[in-house]
Amino acid sequence: MTSLEHCQALDAKDPLRPLRELFSLPAGVIYLDGNSLGALPRTAAARVAHAVTQEWGDGLIRSWNSAGWFDLPQRVGDKIARLVGASAGTVVATDTTSINLYKVLSAALTIAAQDVPQRKRVVSERSNFPTDLYIAQALCQERGYELLLVEAEQIDAALLADAAVMMLTHVNYRTGAMFDMAGVTAMAHASGALMVWDLAHSAGAVPVALEADNADFAVGCGYKYLNGGPGAPAFVWVHPRHTDRFWQPLAGWWGHAAPFAFTPEYRPASGISRYLCGTQPILSMTALDCALDCFLAVQDCVPAQDVMAALRAKSLALTDMFITLFDERCAGYELELVTPRTHAVRGSQVSLARTTGAYAIMQALIARGVIGDFRAGAAADTGKSEGADILRFGLTPLYLGFADVWQALEHLCQIMDSGEWRDDKFNQKHAVT
Ligand SMILES: *Cc1c(COP(=O)(O)O)cnc(C)c1O
129 CA: nearest ligand 1 atom: 13
Ligand 1 close to Cβ of residue 174 (< 6 A):
no
This prediction has a pTM of 0.97
For 350-370, what is each residue's pLDDT tens digit? 999 999 999 999 999 999 999
Ligand 1 close to Cβ of residue 200 (< 6 A):
yes
Residues annotated as part of the active site: 129, 198, 223-224, 392
Pick from 129, 202, 223 the residue to mutate for probing ligand 1's pocket: most ligand atoms within 8 Å of its CB.
129
Q: Is the per-residue pLDDT at 386 higher than 60?
A: no
User: Could you give the domains of the chain?
Assistant: 4-41+305-427 (3.90.1150.10), 49-292 (3.40.640.10)
Report d(CA 125, CA 170) in Å as an integer: 11
Ligand 1 close to Cβ of residue 284 (< 6 A):
no
What is the pLDDT at residue 304? 87
Ligand 1 close to Cβ of residue 201 (< 6 A):
yes
223 CA: nearest ligand 1 atom: 8
What is the pLDDT at residue 387? 66
Ligand 1 close to Cβ of residue 23 (< 6 A):
no
Report d(CA 38, CA 27) in Å as an integer: 16
Ligand 1 centroid – CA 174 distance (Å): 12
Per-residue pLDDT, averaged over 290-303, amounts to: 96
Pick from 102, 132, 250 the residue to mutate for probing ligand 1's pocket: most ligand atoms within 8 Å of its CB.
132
234-238 and 91-94 beta bridge pairing: antiparallel
CA angle at 97 for the pair 360 and 280, rounded to the nearest 5°? 120
What is the pLDDT at residue 385? 46
Report d(CA 151, CA 160) in Å as an integer: 13
Per-residue pLDDT, averaged over 192-197, amounts to: 98
Query: For residue 79, which of 243, 308, 241 has the smallest C-alpha distance?
Result: 308
201 CA: nearest ligand 1 atom: 15
- Contact (Cβ atoms closer than 8 angstroms) between residue 84 and residue 220: yes
For 2-28, what is each residue's pLDDT tens digit? 999 999 999 999 999 999 999 999 999
Ligand 1 close to Cβ of residue 235 (< 6 A):
no
Which residue, by CA, sits nearest to atom 13 of ligand 1? Answer: 129
> Which residues make Cβ contacts (< 8 Å) with residue 323, sequence separation at least 6?
337, 339, 341, 350
98 CA: nearest ligand 1 atom: 7
The dihedral over CA atoms of 126, 128, 131, 133, expressed in degrees to the nearest 10, equals -40
What is the pLDDT at residue 409? 98
Q: Which amino acid is at 288?
A: L
What is the pLDDT at residue 431? 80
What is the pLDDT at residue 13? 97
Which residue, by CA, sits nearest to atom 15 of ligand 1? Answer: 200
Q: Is the per-residue pLDDT at 382 higher than 80?
A: no
Ligand 1 close to Cβ of residue 33 (< 6 A):
no
% of residues, the chain, pLDDT over 90: 94
Report d(CA 236, CA 214) in Å as an integer: 15
Per-residue pLDDT, averaged over 267-281, amounts to: 97
Pick from 98, 131, 250 the residue to mutate for probing ligand 1's pocket: most ligand atoms within 8 Å of its CB.
131
The dihedral sign for the CA sequence 30, 32, 38, 41: positive
Ligand 1 centroid – CA 131 distance (Å): 7
What is the pLDDT at residue 379? 44
DSSP assignment of 120-151: -EEEEETTS-HHHHHHHHHHHHHHT-EEEEE-
Which residue, by CA, sits nearest to atom 10 of ligand 1? Answer: 97
Q: Is the per-residue pLDDT at 123 higher than 90?
A: yes
DSSP assignment of 359-391: HHHHHHHHHTTEE-EEESS-GGGGTSSTT-EEE
For 236-252, what is each residue's pLDDT tens digit? 999 999 999 988 999 99
Per-residue pLDDT, averaged over 392-409, amounts to: 98
What is the pLDDT at residue 388? 87
Report d(CA 42, CA 289) in Å as an integer: 13
Q: Is the per-residue pLDDT at 197 higher than 90?
A: yes
What is the pLDDT at residue 428? 87
Write down the H helix ranges in 191-329.
240-243, 282-296, 298-301, 307-329
Q: Is the per-residue pLDDT at 39 higher than 80?
A: yes
Per-residue pLDDT, averaged over 378-389, amounts to: 58
Report d(CA 162, CA 147) in Å as an integer: 12
Ligand 1 centroid – CA 98 distance (Å): 6
Per-residue pLDDT, averaged over 173-201, amounts to: 98
For 95-106, what is each residue's pLDDT tens digit? 999 999 999 999
Ligand 1 close to Cβ of residue 95 (< 6 A):
no
